Amino acid sequence: MLADYGADVVWIEPPAGDPLRASAPEHVSCIDRGKRSVALDLADATARDQVLVLADRAEVFVESWRPGVADRLGLGYDVLHARNPRLVYVSISGFGEEDPNELPAEEALVQAVLGGMSDQVAHRDGPVYLGFPFANIGAAALAVIGALAAIRRARHDGHGRHVHTSLLDGALAYNSMLWGDSDASPARGDEPLPLQGTSRMRLITRSFECGDGEYLGIHTGAVGAFGRAMQVLGVDDRVPPSSDGMDMGVPLTDDELPVVRDELVEIFRSRPRAEWVQLFRDADVCAVEHLRPTEVFDSPQARHNDMVLTVDDPVLGPVEQVAPPIRFAATPGAVRGPAPRLGEHTADVLATHAGWPEPSATPGPTEPDPRPLLDGVRIVDLGAYYAGPYSSRLLADLGADVVKVEPLLGDQLRGIERPFFSAQAGKRSLAADLKHPAVRPPLERLLRGADVVHHNLRPGAGERLGVDDASVRALNPSIITLHAPGWGATGPDASRQSFAPMLSGYAGITYEVAGAYNAPLPPTANEDPGNGLLGAIAILLALLHRDETGEGQSMENPQLNATMTHLAHIVRTPSGDVLGAGALDPLQMGRGAFDRLYETADGWICIVARTDAERAALLEALDVEAAADDDTQADRLRVAIAARKTDELVDQLGAVGVPATEPVGRNIRTFMRDPEARRVGRVAEVVHPVLGAVREIDLLVRVSDAARVPHRLAPALGEHTDAVLAELGCSPTEIAALRAAGAVR
């Protein structure tokens, strides 16, 4: 991510290369593009000294060893910070710096420990191997967020900091949308996942098979969309719409429930998908096709967004890949080149010390600035729902002052407690009718004093409200604006509705999580948190640019772009061959004999044996003969494991160095009450005047030498209206007049 937006990244690899080069070269072709490769054996003292010299000149150092390994190598934070006080040191582990878990940083093992394998809907009972690596993706994004915030502070006070995050934190960044509870509405415990279409809520969020065998996702979350959908489907006489379009608050009756749950399935089978898509688009209802991986590359909107590029990879040859997703007006992303060959730049980098300048002789400050990293940054958030507002929530966690400007009736998501609380934690609420002329003067003062304005309004809505980039920039020329539309601000699908997880289907994720040959399934994690993570990165990059130049800029972060990055590890050749997709087996057990779930005599076990030594130890421990093909090997292991108890097997395999663990069941309630999760700061518990104790996911990236912001719950509607207006210079009389006129709440 940093290389795509201009960083010069030197990638230190072992002499044999990153193991991913052999196991998944298509992954390397994308995630390591634009870097320079240096091959070094860090078991050698000379090689370690060479890394130290490079770190002396670097601004950021990133490592993903198990906790303690960096210190044993002499490359830990304390050593590097003493040599280069301005260096930002980023650690990405599997379970966190303080977690005693000795399992390696593997996606499947982290999800098994956390309970993610029990959250994914499936075609069978039991835990499910997750089809796309959102713990890794989330950890990468959190690391970038922490690094960028620390870089800004280091450039201010000369003090580099230690940034910590983990794959477990990365998974929680996506789980935050639904993980959490309150005394008034407790989290689900261990009961099974509800079936699609069983809710009494007048909300359709499910997929349907159409007459041509293709699948279509429907979401009626927009105001009035449920009623319009019933009209398109011809059942509005039996399931009439509400008068105000706010259908979600009205439960289905006993007569209406079977119509929505059962009859719609057959109705959708009466027409091919393309016809349904057009009918729903004409009715302004979110209806999105489920596509196979990389089919989205051919969509006109993805091409319009410049989301597909061809890279001439030295191993794979020319391949189409997902392009940098954030669109900057002044500083656009650019891929410098393909992923490097192993050690391609070793001689040049070591001879020139990467071509970076000499370390500064100026001593760093005696004491670092102790404030929260984003203290003093002011963000006006005009967004709604989740995908946009989660961006500013992540920055509020790091100290930004975020004013949420919402309509008098409130954000449309307020009726759904958990995602609303997650997206809006740490913010202040100003409830105002932006169309009311009396609101314009204080709104303009708010915009003049802001560093960032963010919204995910549909194209054209910002212009009508006077909060689009041009209008805001006329008031504040140095402002940063971020628009996070569903499909894009312009293009053939710009006016199309977008809701999660429908775009996950459009990008191919629903087929990836379903397993080979299966009908698509909704993923556990989706594009809403993904878009929020990328939006936070966009804002931080723009703030760094403004710090250096004094110039603001406009940015666009479409939800489509963010969703496509979730499968950036899947690429396509010019002949149409898709590389890196379809690895999950039809039973959703795993990605091969040595990376999968197995059923035991009394439960389940997850095994990830990557190295030859681990695989040999596994076969020996189970007295299983090696097989020439993967399917036979998996079958032999399945038979042996089925006769053993889980606890005994985990202990036995752990004793011989084979990574294995029991996948826990649905874990929200247990995790949210885990004292260790609260101590580390992953979970916060705050008392709410109505809901009682509220437990929710808290800070997921930890930074040394910077104060933590106490967790603040999402604000009540208009909770801070008076305070914000007073800060903007409105007298009590003026505020009362605005309220009397119905302009604010």
Beta-bridge partners for 471: none
What's the CA gap between 740 and 734, in Å, rounded?
A: 10
In a domain, 377, yes or no: no
What's the CA gap between 228 and 207, in Å, rounded?
A: 17
| Model pLDDT, residue 247 | 78
Same-domain status, 35 and 75: yes
Give, in order, the Cα–Cα distances in Å from 269 to each of 206, 210, 281, 587, 715: 15, 4, 18, 26, 44
Comparing CA positions, the residue from 11, 33, 29, 134 lying closest to residue 570 is 29
Q: Give the model confidence (pLDDT) of 495-512 as tens digits.
A: 999 999 999 999 999 999
| Model pLDDT, residue 299 | 98
Beta-bridge partners for 321: 309
* Residue 523 neighbours by CB under 8 Å, 6+ apart: 120, 130, 131, 132, 134, 501, 504, 509, 510, 512, 513
| Model pLDDT, residue 308 | 98
Same-domain status, 70 and 117: yes
In a domain, 339, yes or no: yes
Split at pLDDT 50, 70, 90, the class of 248 is confident
Q: Give the model confidence (pLDDT) of 179-211 as tens digits.
A: 998 998 876 654 544 444 557 888 899 999 999
User: 332: burial class by Cβ within 10 Å (0-12, 13-18, 19+)?
Assistant: middle
Query: For a pLDDT cut of 90, what percent of the chain falls above it?
Result: 92
Split at pLDDT 50, 70, 90, the class of 363 is low
Q: In what order do the strands lie in the sheet with 88-93?
A: 60-63, 88-93, 162-166, 702-703
Q: Where are the alpha helices (DSSP H) in 566-672?
A: 612-622, 630-642, 646-655, 668-672
| 329 close to 576: Cβ distance less than 8 angstroms | no
Same-domain status, 604 and 571: no
pLDDT at residue 589 above 80? yes
Task: Find the CATH number of the domain harbouring 149.
Answer: 3.40.50.10540
| Model pLDDT, residue 198 | 55
Q: Where are the alpha helices (DSSP H) in 88-224?
A: 107-114, 134-157, 167-175
Same-domain status, 641 and 575: no
Same-domain status, 168 and 115: yes
How many domains, in total, are found in the chain?
2
State pTM to two decimals: 0.96
In a domain, 75, yes or no: yes
Beta-bridge partners for 617: none
Query: For a pLDDT cut of 70, what percent of the chain falls above it?
Result: 97
Same-domain status, 93 and 177: yes
Mean pLDDT of 543-561: 97
In a domain, 687, yes or no: no
Same-domain status, 572 and 636: no
What's the CA gap between 363 and 437, in Å, rounded?
A: 54
Give the SS3 label for residue 395: helix
Same-domain status, 575 and 610: no
Same-domain status, 575 and 629: no
Domain around 646: 595-661
Same-domain status, 148 and 75: yes
In a domain, 189, yes or no: no
Same-domain status, 572 and 600: no
Q: What is the mean pLDDT of the chain?
A: 95
Single residue among 661, 696, 716 that ends a domain in this structure: 661
Q: What is the largest CA-CA distance in the chain?
A: 84
Give, in order, the Cα–Cα distances in Å from 585 to each of 289, 469, 588: 23, 47, 5
Q: At what angle do helices 527-549 and 389-396 cross, to 10 degrees?
A: 60
What's the CA gap between 184 and 161, in Å, rounded?
A: 40
Q: Is the dihedral of CA 386, 387, 389, 395 positive or negative?
A: positive
Same-domain status, 630 and 575: no
Mean pLDDT of 158-185: 95
| Model pLDDT, residue 188 | 61
What's the CA gap between 297 and 685, in Å, rounded?
A: 43
Q: Give the model confidence (pLDDT) of 720-744 as tens digits.
A: 999 999 999 999 999 999 999 999 9
- Tokens coding 270: 């009466």
| 132 close to 174: Cβ distance less than 8 angstroms | no
In a domain, 653, yes or no: yes
| 468 close to 521: Cβ distance less than 8 angstroms | no
In a domain, 115, yes or no: yes
Single residue among 640, 661, 682 that ends a domain in this structure: 661
Q: What is the DSSP letter of 590?
A: B
- Tokens coding 438: 């009396």
Q: Strand 180-182 relative to strand 692-697: parallel, antiparallel, unpaired?
A: antiparallel
Single residue among 608, 640, 661 that ends a domain in this structure: 661
| 719 close to 707: Cβ distance less than 8 angstroms | no
In a domain, 418, yes or no: no
The number of C-alpha atoms within 13 Å of 445 and in the hemisphere containing its C-beta is: 11
Comparing CA positions, the residue from 399, 393, 431, 446 lying closest to residue 180 is 393
